[in-house]
Every structure is written in structure tokens, then in C-alpha cells.
Amino acid sequence: MNQYLSVTRDIEGESGIVNLRVQDIIFLEWSGKLDRVIVHTLHEQFYTPGTLKYLSTALNSSGYTFMVVDRNNAVNVNRIVRLDSIFKLAYFEAEINEDSKHCTMAFTRYKELEKEFMVYNPGLLVL
């Protein structure tokens, strides 16, 4: 399934619209300061208007699995490679370094996600 989300590379949209493959998205982050959703891939970030709830619901209704994991973040569950049980973080690469992107999670949402993963993805690395 190749679906795209229309985003921009800059906050105001002056660079024009870019079509981003949904499967490249690792997580969505709401920024109240910017009044935008920041769309994260492994190596870039993009911007789009709307709310976190709206985007995650629309993406889930399109066949993806985005889980709202705290008030500001929704993670693409299928892209998670590692979970950090101490700091409640999701990572999207097997080899973690200081430049690795991560998504923060609320404690209760982390527990829900970890429990779900232990059933569906027993090979997931939990630190």
C-alpha cells in the first residue's frame, strides 16, 4: 500500500507541498507553539496543519497503526524497533546513537504498548 500525506518542509509552507509516503513516518508530534503537527521520518521532519487526533485517526482508518502515546505524540507502531522501559521511549533503529530519533510516551501508554508488543512482536528489543 503506497499512500501519501501532503506536508511541507517549512512551518509556513513557503517551500510548497511535498507528498510523503505514510510508511516512512515514524511518529507525529503536536507542537502548540507552532500550531502544527510535526511529521517525523528517520532523517527529516515535515509540517502539516490539523490535530494529532485527526491525523492519527485518518491514518488508522487508512490501514496504518498509529497509537497516541502521550498528549503530544502518536507513534507508527509498525516502525518501532526498540523500547526503552526506563525512560519510556520508542526507537526506530536497531543501532541507537546520540542522533537516533525517539518518541516519548506516557507511563500508562507505554505499558499498554509494551503488553501489546509482547504478544504481536516477541522479537522486539526492550531495554
Is the Cβ–Cβ distance between 69 and 110 less than 8 Å?
yes
Is the Cβ–Cβ distance between 52 and 32 less than 8 Å?
no
**Residue range 8-66, pLDDT digits in tens:** 999 999 999 999 999 999 999 999 999 999 999 999 999 999 999 999 999 999 999 99
pLDDT greater at residue 75 or residue 125: 75
Is the residue at 126 inside a domain? no
Is the residue at 111 inside a domain? yes
Is the residue at 92 inside a domain? yes
**Residue range 70-122, pLDDT digits in tens:** 999 999 988 988 888 889 999 999 888 888 999 999 998 888 877 776 665 55
Structural domain of 79: 4-121
Is the residue at 99 inside a domain? yes
Domains held by the chain: number = 1
pLDDT of residue 124: 60
Residue 64 belongs to a domain with what CATH number?
A: 2.40.50.1020
DSSP H helix total and E strand total for the chain: 2, 11
Is the residue at 127 inside a domain? no
pLDDT of residue 63: 93
Q: Where are the alpha helices (DSSP H) in the chain?
A: 52-61, 107-120
Is the Cβ–Cβ distance between 80 and 91 less than 8 Å?
yes
